[in-house]
Structure 1
Amino acid sequence: MDKEGGSLRVADNSLDIILSGLRRFPDVEAPNLQAWDATDKLLLETASELLTPDSRIAVIGDRYGALTLGALAAYGVRNVKVHQDLITGERALRNNAAVLKIDSGFAQLPLGAALFDDVDVVLLQLPKTLAELEEAADAVARYAAPHTVLLAGGRVKHMSLGMNTVLQRHFADVQPQLARQKSRILIARDARTVTGPAPFPVADRSSELDLTVCARGAVFAGTKLDIGTRFLLRYLPDMPAAGNVVDLGCGTGILAAMYARSHPESKVTATDQSAAAVDSARATAEANGLAGRITVLQDDAMGSLPDRSAGLILLNPPFHLGASVHAGAGIKMFRAAGRVLMPGGELWTVYNSHLQYLPALERFVGPTRVAGRNAKFTVAVSTGRSERAVP
């Protein structure tokens, strides 16, 4: 690496070597899933024109550490602060840092003032939803110094003009860059003055559920009732009473809240790998007077819950991993349910029928029956075995 005109340069292959060695673990790994994409590389190469070794960077949405570790190892930046919504991403960053023998130089922080204190450049992997981008852009404008430059990058096929509009609400100068390798960077400068409270979490009253639902920007479906959860809730009266109940992949906590309200004697745990989901579920519980009856936990597939500790698990699993349609997330949750479910306990799962999850549920959890099916979804009930599930 050499330094030219105050910006950083790196040998062409150094960044490629670093990126190619990254893993997704402990997240799902498969031959068609990788720990970085062309946007990570383009963000770092674009940022190098602005960086010196003394620059301080904030990173938002670093999926598995590519941006953080690329800045540290390839470009020689000495101070990176990073916010990752998923606990699997946080752990993957630490695992990849250990492999690269990087034991300092980065700090993992929530999306808030500390993340942006005294930073010069913010690198952002553009999120899937405009609400999540709105929350991130507001945070940069609200907490970062006026001179801070935001570089937001994404795959062209997932970008929309709405993203430009969101950024223009928070920055006076937004400049789209030319696309390269099917990725594009938006450079935002001159943050607008922010007044009033932060816009997230938002709260809406669902007349259908008679429930106040709270959501941060990154949570699937926002404050709306997604159609899979709606279908599973049709079977709430058929679900057994249980002492310990888990809403696995809780999102905004609707399932946890509805079950807790109808079963006041039960102890309910709402858990998700997403920090935004955990904050949302906690706010939903509080808004409905259920905070004392629902424990909210950020975790990876119930990893911190004891074996055979739950009498009932409720699950609406995702069928995407990032931008990829992939059954791996659901399979990981089924394995976890097989471990945590008590013998004779029940896992109630709603899933897109085309995924044909029944054999996996039978294998990893136990005997499974179909409780209901409509044109799009299946609700399956799996009973925990007396012996341990197949590993």
Structure 2
Amino acid sequence: MTTPWGEFALARFPEDPRDRLRAWDASDEYLLRHLADEGIPLSGTVVVVGDRWGALVTALAAHRPVQITDSHLAQEATRANLERAGVETGAVRLLTTQDPPPGRIDVLLVRIPKSLALLEDQLLRLAPALHADTVVVGTGMVKEIHTSTLRLFERIVGPTRTSLAEKKARLVFSTPDPALKPGDTPWPYRYALPEGIGAVSGRTVVNHAGVFCADRLDIGTRFFLAHLPSSEGAQRVVDLGCGNGVVGTAVALANPQAEVLFVDESFQAVASAEATYRANGVPGHAEFRVGDGLAGVPADSVDLVLNNPPFHSHQATTDATAWRMFTGAKRALKPGGELWVVGNRHLGYHVKLRRLFGNSRVVAGDPKFVVLRAVKR
């Protein structure tokens, strides 16, 4: 990536030489060029929110910025890209969306997230640290910035306008208005599950902002809950890509003897899963882990893995995450252990599972979803 601060070799995480997706895009370049062209002072506290793979903070590392991200993978990519650029340890402060933000922000750079709820939560949490002279600039591809995005900046920060589009990217300029009182964040959001969905019928779900389908139970998870395997006799179960943790909570309620590991790469998701689990007073033992799938879980240590894999990485449609989840599950499962997957029928996960495990069986299906079972031999 070529910037006014130099050229940087950047990679996504985990690195895959076959992956042709870059670790930056035109919106990152546009923002960095704007900062340099306008001579925006970067001597105060610079906060970068939603930096996809660390491209922005790597370029601005000399100004000792603070990065705030919901993504473990983005944080790991940032560490690797900073090291590759020869940046000293500690030059960039890495925070998650679950950490307290800085008390004062002089420059706020926002990579517009896909989730409007996450943007709302982030801006509301950061608003008390803004002052009249804070420079606030958002960036994203044109298709990521909507009228609702601009209204959110207007309501929480102050008067907002946009730039002309360049290479299908656009900037958002917002001027802090100290007279605004946007209030506290409404997140996390709690709701009760409907009846008729097994062990979690009528139970409470807690969702932090940005978690998939945060205000209701998505239809894929609902279908999965209706066809979960019996976990009787399973000692260690993993809710892989746990989201709000409702699947793992259902297992824990049905089998209090099982140890359930909730894992997701989203800090918001794992916080939601733990809150959902605690809200329902579930007996038994659970572990909550932010990480890259089952990396770090010992081989041959798990009896059952339950998985609803994502098929998007930001705006890109890809099966790379699902494949990594499946291969990680095979390694972690004991011989005879099972991986159960729910997914859209058209994604063809049965082909991948058969190639990896040597077997795959459709447990249940409807016109949109299938539940698949693969056994480690």
Q: TM-score, normalised by structure 1?
A: 0.88
The reply on whether 1:346 has 2:346 as its aligned counterpart is no
- CA shift digits 1:7-54 (9 cap, x unpaired): xxxxx95459635x2100316664441100011111122233253352
Indicate conservation of the 8 Å contact 1:84/1:90, yes or no.
yes
The reply on whether 1:202 has 2:189 as its aligned counterpart is yes
Q: Which amino acid aligns with 2:57?
A: T
Residue 95 (structure 1) aligns with:
80
Indicate conservation of the 8 Å contact 1:27/1:89, yes or no.
no
Residue 326 (structure 1) aligns with:
318
Other structure's SS at 2:362 match: strand
Indicate conservation of the 8 Å contact 1:28/1:329, yes or no.
no
Residue 104 (structure 2) aligns with:
118
Cα separation, partners in 2 of 1:222 and 1:342, compared to 1, 3 Å: same
In 2, the alpha carbon distance for the partners of 1:63 and 1:29 equals: 19
Other structure's SS at 1:250 match: coil
Residue 44 (structure 1) aligns with:
32
- Give the Å deviation of 1:199: 2.2
What does 1:1-391 align with in structure 2 at a 5 Å threshold?
13-15=2-4, 18-19=7-8, 21-26=9-14, 30-48=18-36, 49=38, 51-52=40-41, 54-72=43-61, 77-103=62-88, 104-111=90-97, 114-191=100-177, 193-194=180-181, 197-208=184-195, 209-236=201-228, 238=230, 240-290=232-282, 293-385=285-377
In 2, the alpha carbon distance for the partners of 1:240 and 1:371 equals: 18
Q: Which amino acid aligns with 2:340?
A: W
Other structure's SS at 2:248 match: helix
In 2, the alpha carbon distance for the partners of 1:292 and 1:113 equals: 28
Indicate conservation of the 8 Å contact 1:55/1:79, yes or no.
no
**RMSD value, Cα:** 2.2
Q: Which amino acid aligns with 1:156?
A: V
Cα separation, partners in 2 of 1:29 and 1:289, compared to 1, 3 Å: farther
- Give the Å deviation of 1:152: 1.1
Indicate conservation of the 8 Å contact 1:171/1:191, yes or no.
yes
Which sits farther off after the overlay, 195-204 or 312-321? 195-204
Indicate conservation of the 8 Å contact 1:112/1:143, yes or no.
no
Other structure's SS at 1:172 match: coil
Other structure's SS at 2:57 match: helix
Other structure's SS at 2:170 match: strand
Indicate conservation of the 8 Å contact 2:154/2:160, yes or no.
yes
In 1, the alpha carbon distance for the partners of 2:325 and 2:98 equals: 30
Q: Which amino acid aligns with 2:188?
A: P
- Give the Å deviation of 1:114: 4.7
- CA shift digits 1:313-332 (9 cap, x unpaired): 00000011111111111000
Other structure's SS at 1:116 match: coil
In 2, the alpha carbon distance for the partners of 1:82 and 1:32 equals: 25
- CA shift digits 1:124-159 (9 cap, x unpaired): 110112101111111221333443222111111222
Residue 6 (structure 1) aligns with:
none
- Give the Å deviation of 1:170: 0.4
In 2, the alpha carbon distance for the partners of 1:384 and 1:68 equals: 42
In 2, the alpha carbon distance for the partners of 1:312 and 1:113 equals: 32
Ranges in structure 2 where 5+ consecutive residues have no aligned partner: 196-200
- Give the Å deviation of 1:110: 2.6
Which sits farther off after the overlay, 52-61 or 120-129? 52-61
Cα separation, partners in 2 of 1:114 and 1:148, compared to 1, 3 Å: farther
- Give the Å deviation of 1:291: 7.6
In 1, the alpha carbon distance for the partners of 2:39 and 2:106 equals: 9
- CA shift digits 1:253-278 (9 cap, x unpaired): 01011111111111111100111101
Indicate conservation of the 8 Å contact 1:214/1:223, yes or no.
no
Q: Which amino acid aligns with 1:79?
A: R
Q: Which amino acid aligns with 1:39?
A: S
Cα separation, partners in 2 of 1:16 and 1:323, compared to 1, 3 Å: farther
